[in-house]
Structure 1
């Protein structure tokens, strides 16, 4: 069977396989070398007990390349326990290496009994043993081979945190990774926050990028609950996280930014977030929005959007000229960039004092381009509709909408098969709002195409989707009823009559009123008047008229009697 991979991919896969085989051979050779040295050492010859331990170690190492049941046998556990408890650091290292091997190959849960030797090895006086077993523990935690809560219950957190003080970058890296994984479990955070928060903040400022990355990762997990977030902020975590936004490591930037986003979601922390002088936080986040790393740029936008719920922060963002970098993100072809930027700009457009600035910055031009070319996600298009709706209410907003591609983009979106009903509802709501302005109504009526009119009529006829149907029918009814518009509508009068009949039959007065207005406008065309005559639609219209007259008569019965000498106005009866 021919390979589906290209020549380059086949080469890369072969190189990877060769590399893995070489690593396995080197690891096997390392085990053999360790065992050979152990066998030659006089430690094994001093007593019969040492001789027995040597034979057990030899048997213990034999199943390294066998199945899991052999790796985790009861005999193996006994030998691991003896090796870990030995005063000989070489024997301890053998046990630690065995756990490292197991952590790479184990696919099932590690039996709880096998955790006891891990605790013993973490307490070893030999730093290399601690580094090896802590790396094994990281692997087991990442693959969910061990219970995170059990690690805490067994007291392993204490020796793990002690490795923070070792001064060894690798030991600190492994121990921070362990804490990060443990902190991902909500029930463990209380234990970690008590003794771990201060050293984690210190290691987050480490010059070793590996240590800094894992420490920041752990701090991020601590912002996933309100209580631990509060303790983190009280311990001075915000300034540290803000500084991490300037890190040269993109993963550190991402974790720091995400942690700040979680903190910003809690209103009570906003004063501390803003207390750093010179708008340092907002400036750093705005800089990060221009990052070439997509997820960092998007996360910075999300953090700013969360902060922008605070009106004071919105004002500061506008002072910092935040619009140009956000506009630049709208030009990217990737939804992961455009959507967060659109969300933030939408939040800014919801605040009326920002309208004139956003219009003058040409935001509507970019939004129009996005809507016109449908380059973004449904969420971004939804926010684009909200931006157009908000800014059209400003002084120069209507003119800017008309000069941009917003109207044609919105009309074109009606014909997009990729948009969901919810997104179409936002598009049509925006168009219906724009049709309330004379300037925009005239412009739209002059530019709408036959295909777009057909799209509006089809959506109006989907009466099982009441809101969408209502929006589209309302847009159609507000068109300037010129001869050109009548020419576009005439081929669809039959469909229009059908949905108008449904509208008149509804109990909802809003639909009835829209139906009446539409009929009034379309009767200006003789073709529609001829179609209406003696039709079911006209019969229904007469019924609505009769019902309305009856309602008016009944209302008159409950109206107050007109003023007379017998019934003076109420104001004259007061003294």
Structure 2
């Protein structure tokens, strides 16, 4: 059955306006006006009775189906809500023009959606087409609600729902004048849009425009579900572009000011997804003369953790452009970010660190970050969360990026050195963040003042742990950076004393490095020998035969490489003619 046509909708609108203006003596005219409208074919009224609502005659097969259905409901148990033998009965009731029978079918589907534990057979979805297209409002409400329940609980396959043709009637219900139907249908679309293939189908059927309309609804339930559906559509690059072309950006940005924290979160998450593609940045930042950045900065102060975090993620994506970073810093961003780093919420800390990590990549921001005294907070964060791989990862990376000759003293004063050394010994060998902490320490040892402080804070346990990491054959990058740290710290007599009892282990990994195919490992092996042989004990150990044989091979390879380079760069005249 079809819903109201445009002509009838206009009649109803005129009727509402008429009632508002009318006095009591107009009621008879209004009644006549309403009954006349019943003659429209879209309502399927009985032409032989123009002055009364059409009551379809109950067919014999429908009576039998209804009786059988009632008996089935009485006998059905919670564990047997699906009975394929009764499917034909449901199909008969759903296809009936009698609203009461359709309501019975819709009510039973609602019962199924609340009781079903397993996947519903695909054939049971077929009656939904008639129920969703019913002219009866209660049927629409119950049918759409039951379908939402089934989708949310995973009792039906999302792709199948679209493939059997239910998407079109679901999208039609988005245009309903009833808030409950709008709420249910938009929730259906939101759940269907979690499927990649369904997103393009929703966009192709014109669902984006309908959802944007409902996103402006005054009903908070409708608005929330509509924005949630838009969020799921932003998870694909193609639908992101379609949303932007349909005018979704101003709507989403406006909803950042919504009094509903869920709508704020959905809108901000959608903008975060769109901002992951730099092609949209210019458009996003031009809306409302750059109002987006100010709104995101405001949301960073939200008491709702997930809204605050999402604002950080959106800013991180937008700040991939250095010009945008300058604009963000200009609106007093760093003090607010610093407050989030001090938060007691680990989730907020992590979100703030993702933004700071992006900003620290740009060396023009280094002075501003250091002057804000953020380094001290980073040191405290790492000490508090030294066993957290995520926190350790971000903090170590940021300190690494901020380490320059100009920031050496600030890093020392911030206790970051103590923090990264403690994190090194607390992280497990298989933690990915251990690599970032080790890289950070290796970078810090390149700066003399910081290296001296690291040596002061180091003990035999640190030395042994670094030696163990340098021998990790499964993780060559971890091994490389641990060995880099040993090589640099070995320049100091105090640290070389800690290494003396483990000289044989050092010879072992140096020998392995010299045999390695990568040039960087060979160079590091040679540098380690050079730095540690200043200690007489190591000079003696490094003179053993195996190591000397390998050094001679490296020397020979180097000589051969040099000869080849000479021949290529400076060929003799005879060689040139031969090449021609």
TM range (shorter): 0.7 to 0.9
Corresponding residue for 1:444? 454
Corresponding residue for 1:14? none
| Residues 512, 73 of structure 1: alpha-carbon distance in 2 compared, 3 angstrom cutoff | closer
Q: Distance in 1 between matches of 2:486 and 2:264?
A: 50
Corresponding residue for 1:59? 71
Corresponding residue for 2:417? 407
1:55-91 CA-to-partner distances (Å, cap 9, x unmatched) read 33432432343542x64242x3333234334444333
Deviation at 1:419, TM superposition (A): 5.3
Corresponding residue for 2:274? 263
Q: RMSD of the alignment, in Å?
A: 3.3
Corresponding residue for 1:15? none
| Residues 438, 47 of structure 1: alpha-carbon distance in 2 compared, 3 angstrom cutoff | closer
1:430-484 CA-to-partner distances (Å, cap 9, x unmatched) read 2222222222222223332333223223333446644333322332332375554
Q: Distance in 2 between matches of 1:248 and 1:112?
A: 41
The answer (yes or no) to whether the contact 1:160–1:178 under 8 Å persists in 2 is yes
1:367 equivalent to 2:378? Answer yes
Gap runs ≥5 in structure 1: 1-42, 562-566, 568-575
The answer (yes or no) to whether the contact 2:269–2:310 under 8 Å persists in 1 is yes
Q: Distance in 1 between matches of 2:411 and 2:293?
A: 30
Corresponding residue for 2:52? none
Corresponding residue for 2:19? none
Q: Distance in 1 between matches of 2:230 and 2:438?
A: 44
The answer (yes or no) to whether the contact 1:503–1:515 under 8 Å persists in 2 is yes
1:360-413 CA-to-partner distances (Å, cap 9, x unmatched) read 112211222222333564233222222112211263x22211111211112222
Corresponding residue for 1:27? none
Corresponding residue for 1:206? 217
| Residues 61, 258 of structure 1: alpha-carbon distance in 2 compared, 3 angstrom cutoff | same
1:40-64 CA-to-partner distances (Å, cap 9, x unmatched) read xxx9999977864663343243234
Deviation at 1:101, TM superposition (A): 0.2
Corresponding residue for 2:125? 115
| Normalised TM-score (structure 1) | 0.79
Corresponding residue for 2:227? 216
1:137 equivalent to 2:143? Answer no
Q: Distance in 2 between matches of 1:99 and 1:307?
A: 46
Deviation at 1:190, TM superposition (A): 3.8
Corresponding residue for 1:387? 398
Q: Distance in 2 between matches of 1:494 and 1:267?
A: 52
Equivalent positions of 1:270-349 (< 5 A) are: 270-332=281-343, 334-349=345-360
Q: Distance in 1 between matches of 2:91 and 2:550?
A: 90
Gap runs ≥5 in structure 2: 1-54, 573-580
Equivalent positions of 1:189-204 (< 5 A) are: 189-193=199-203, 194-204=205-215
| Residues 72, 268 of structure 1: alpha-carbon distance in 2 compared, 3 angstrom cutoff | same
| Normalised TM-score (structure 2) | 0.79
1:539 equivalent to 2:545? Answer yes
Deviation at 1:521, TM superposition (A): 4.2
Moved more, 132-141 or 79-88: 79-88
| Residues 557, 521 of structure 1: alpha-carbon distance in 2 compared, 3 angstrom cutoff | closer
Q: Distance in 1 between matches of 2:334 and 2:564?
A: 58
Corresponding residue for 1:479? 489
Picking from 425, 437, 441, the partner of 1:431 is 441
Aligned residues: 513
The answer (yes or no) to whether the contact 1:63–1:71 under 8 Å persists in 2 is no
| Residues 94, 496 of structure 1: alpha-carbon distance in 2 compared, 3 angstrom cutoff | same
The answer (yes or no) to whether the contact 1:505–1:512 under 8 Å persists in 2 is yes
| Residues 558, 189 of structure 1: alpha-carbon distance in 2 compared, 3 angstrom cutoff | closer
Corresponding residue for 2:91? 81
Equivalent positions of 1:179-190 (< 5 A) are: 179-190=189-200
SS at match of 1:166: coil
The answer (yes or no) to whether the contact 2:392–2:423 under 8 Å persists in 1 is no
Equivalent positions of 1:231-250 (< 5 A) are: 231-250=242-261
| Residues 271, 84 of structure 1: alpha-carbon distance in 2 compared, 3 angstrom cutoff | same
Q: Distance in 2 between matches of 1:511 and 1:57?
A: 78
SS at match of 1:414: helix
The answer (yes or no) to whether the contact 1:289–1:296 under 8 Å persists in 2 is yes
| Residues 522, 52 of structure 1: alpha-carbon distance in 2 compared, 3 angstrom cutoff | closer
Corresponding residue for 2:505? 495
Deviation at 1:234, TM superposition (A): 0.9
SS at match of 1:107: coil
